[in-house]
Chains A and B, each alone.
Chain A
């Protein structure tokens, strides 16, 4: 075991797979000698060479399409989009091409591409760096979308995602990169895609979250415990497909749920979670399922992040609403 930050765990996962499989390539803007704008690929080019870890011209559309092209020569590209707000430039490549590649070839071709990108608020980045756009990806058939909330999950999920023969969008929350350390096993291991994790067991309300909102939900659960409210915290880990089995089991036990996301209310995957839970657990519910989300505006100017981003207090408030319903 080593105490790692999430970004160190991510680097370790990429190094593991670069070592395990010579078809794995790491590419993107400034991922080579520079080691990435967040140091996620630090040291990888030095260890594995310029053929395996390399920089590209500054153009996201060609970048993700380079990933797709490389799969035709049996490579397994790990493509970095520098900030996920820039995915609009590559939206056809990701959603119009990569996601459809297997189906449009009638199952004869695969796109084992992993797209990594940082996102997420609370670290005062400029415009279109922090936007939560996982909803766009989750609405795209053909992709799997993973959002880890801690170092140990990040390593296991990333190794699993690189090994997946299906395209995976792997979103890394910038606030979680170095905000805490955690024991991460040194050996290689995987965490199954599409499986949620129960972070904390509880009896009274299910708090369903992902990304940076998992930490907020845990803080909220701590505060609620002081008022004798027992909250179960579930980390989705994969936002497409969503592990409804785990969610349904939890809600059937607690009979109440709050779905929490950093994205705007009209975005993210919260609406989808509520809809599915309504269909699957309506007879167990003691109260309507509520959501904690950001307001339906553009992502705020830096100075307004604190008043805009959802946080533990919003979660506590919603949890009490469903309990007092």
Chain B
């Protein structure tokens, strides 16, 4: 029996809307420019700097994984595969912008000015790792998925109230888009027309849960519709595309036009974290190698080599430098003075309450023994 004729067709409406969210790309996986008109204005030096940061961060990821296995680092969430998504988006920012990261977004913090030693201390669980230098506008990596989204809205509203030429940028994963705070965050920013950039790094999995189990929505970008937020899905393995959309989102934001949602379609090659996750339990090696063909470093390397801006020698030299720098930083982190309970107490309040004062005396005596 033919379906009854209807005066309205919600399925058609949905399909029409979803079809509007096409993935934005500039570089294909072979490093060819497929969208010439969209090329961002970047000097040769800037292009090289972007590559340098991505390569450096890939080395950092490899070293962090092995340091974590050796027990010299603690909590670590691998980043390999997401260099374009993390670093090209960050490269579109200014020092005055505020980074509100999730637990996987340590690279952006480092490039925003967090000393590597402190990033390692964060991993090891030392408060000095979260004592950011003055002028590094950022919060520590957020463990509660979604909390950074609502906080970023708040930061952006604050920036707007101070009439600053800056934005707040925040990052979440595909799984995080299911949280209430995800929606509340961009809805607040939208209602206040606040200068915020909300990045959804869709790396295909939330631990073991694939994106189809998070939502029936075809893109995460379209979730912005719910709050009237302009949104775009971008190839998260394409540094030029990620840079370009972030740059434009920043321009819109600082011009007082409100927030943007950017979904970066990307992939993490490694496990969710180094705390026992085993990706072979939930994905295939075929899937891994399909994504490796899309590697942001491979395509950007090719792009730069074609322009004579990059070569193997340069890359090897950079990798060696990175390893040296990492070695030095981990040593510094290892040599950082051990924490005391009295320090933790002193960091709790501006004005220490009576209960803590009493306990402080007790621990001071213990620690001076």
Asked, given contacts A66-B157, A73-B161, whether A102 binds B348 with beta carbons under 8 Å apart, the answer is: yes
Give A164 to B139 CA distance when docked, in angstroms.
22
Q: Please determine whether B144 and A92 come into contact, CB atoms closer than 8 angstroms.
A: yes
Give the chain B neighbours of A165 by CB distance below 8 A: 350-351
Give the chain B neighbours of A166 by CB distance below 8 A: 349-351
Give A61 to B180 CA distance when docked, in angstroms.
9
Residue of B nearest to A243 (CB): B354
Give A56 to B192 CA distance when docked, in angstroms.
9
Q: Please determine whether A107 and B346 come into contact, CB atoms closer than 8 angstroms.
A: yes
Give A65 to B196 CA distance when docked, in angstroms.
15
Give the one of A93, A106, A165, A245 with max B CB within 10 A: A106
Give A17 to B346 CA distance when docked, in angstroms.
28
Q: Please determine whether B158 and A69 come into contact, CB atoms closer than 8 angstroms.
A: yes
B150 touches A (CB below 8 Å) = yes
A244 touches B (CB below 8 Å) = yes
User: Which of A66, A97, A243 is the one whose CB lies under 8 Å from B188?
Assistant: A66
A68 touches B (CB below 8 Å) = yes
Residue of B nearest to A54 (CB): B192
Asked, given contacts A62-B185, A107-B131, whether A51 binds B161 with beta carbons under 8 Å apart, the answer is: yes
A194 touches B (CB below 8 Å) = yes
Give the chain B neighbours of A118 by CB distance below 8 A: none
B128 touches A (CB below 8 Å) = yes
For window 63-87 of A, CB contacts with B under 8 Å fall at 65-73, 75
Q: Please determine whether B147 and A110 come into contact, CB atoms closer than 8 angstroms.
A: no
Residue of A nearest to B155 (CB): A69
Q: Please determine whether B154 and A69 come into contact, CB atoms closer than 8 angstroms.
A: yes
Q: Please determine whether A105 and B187 come into contact, CB atoms closer than 8 angstroms.
A: no
Asked, given contacts A57-B187, A103-B347, A244-B354, whether A93 binds B162 with beta carbons under 8 Å apart, the answer is: no
Give the chain B neighbours of A106 by CB distance below 8 A: 127-131, 347
A142 touches B (CB below 8 Å) = yes
Give the chain B neighbours of A144 by CB distance below 8 A: 349, 353
Instruction: Tally A residues with Cβ within 8 Å of B.
Output: 43
B356 touches A (CB below 8 Å) = yes
Give A73 to B348 CA distance when docked, in angstroms.
20
CB B226 to nearest CB in A, in angstroms, measures 12
Give the chain A neighbours of B161 by CB distance below 8 A: 25, 51, 70, 73, 75
A238-253 to B contact mask, C-beta < 8 Å, 1/0:
0011111100000000
Residue of A nearest to B351 (CB): A166
User: Which of B139, B151, B158 is the one whose CB lies under 8 Å from A75?
Assistant: B158
Give the chain A neighbours of B344 by CB distance below 8 A: 103
A59 touches B (CB below 8 Å) = yes
Q: Please determine whether B154 and A70 come into contact, CB atoms closer than 8 angstroms.
A: yes
B251 touches A (CB below 8 Å) = no
Q: Please determine whether B154 and A57 come into contact, CB atoms closer than 8 angstroms.
A: no
Give A37 to B335 CA distance when docked, in angstroms.
56
B159 touches A (CB below 8 Å) = yes
B333-351 to A contact mask, C-beta < 8 Å, 1/0:
0000000000010111111
B148-179 to A contact mask, C-beta < 8 Å, 1/0:
00111111111101101000100000000000
Give A134 to B354 CA distance when docked, in angstroms.
18
Give the one of A67, A68, A110, A240 with max B CB within 10 A: A68
B257 touches A (CB below 8 Å) = no
Give the chain A neighbours of B128 by CB distance below 8 A: 106
For window 187-212 of A, CB contacts with B under 8 Å fall at 193-194
CB A67 to nearest CB in B, in angstroms, measures 7
Give the one of A97, A164, A244, A245 with max B CB within 10 A: A97
Give the chain A neighbours of B147 by CB distance below 8 A: 65, 92-93, 96-97
Residue of A nearest to B143 (CB): A96
Give the chain A neighbours of B347 by CB distance below 8 A: 102-103, 105-107
B140 touches A (CB below 8 Å) = yes
Q: Please determine whether B353 and A59 come into contact, CB atoms closer than 8 angstroms.
A: no
User: Which of A66, A93, A105 is the one whose CB lies under 8 Å from B132?
Assistant: A105
B355 touches A (CB below 8 Å) = yes
User: Which of A69, A141, A142, A164 is the one whose CB lies under 8 Å from B156?
Assistant: A69
20 contacts between A and B (CB under 8 A): A56-B191, A57-B187, A59-B184, A59-B187, A61-B184, A65-B147, A71-B158, A72-B98, A102-B349, A102-B350, A104-B127, A105-B347, A106-B127, A108-B132, A144-B353, A164-B351, A165-B350, A166-B349, A241-B354, A244-B354
New A-B contacts (18) at CB < 8 Å, excluding given A62-B185, A96-B144, A103-B347:
A51-B161, A57-B188, A59-B188, A65-B147, A65-B153, A65-B181, A70-B155, A70-B161, A72-B154, A93-B150, A97-B147, A97-B151, A104-B140, A105-B131, A142-B348, A142-B349, A165-B350, A166-B349
Interchain residue pairs A-B with the least CB separation, the first 7: A69-B154, A73-B158, A241-B353, A65-B150, A165-B350, A62-B184, A107-B347
Q: Tell me the A residues contacting B by CB distance below 8 Å.
A: 25, 51, 56-57, 59, 61-62, 65-73, 75, 92-93, 96-97, 102-108, 110, 141-142, 144, 164-166, 193-194, 240-245
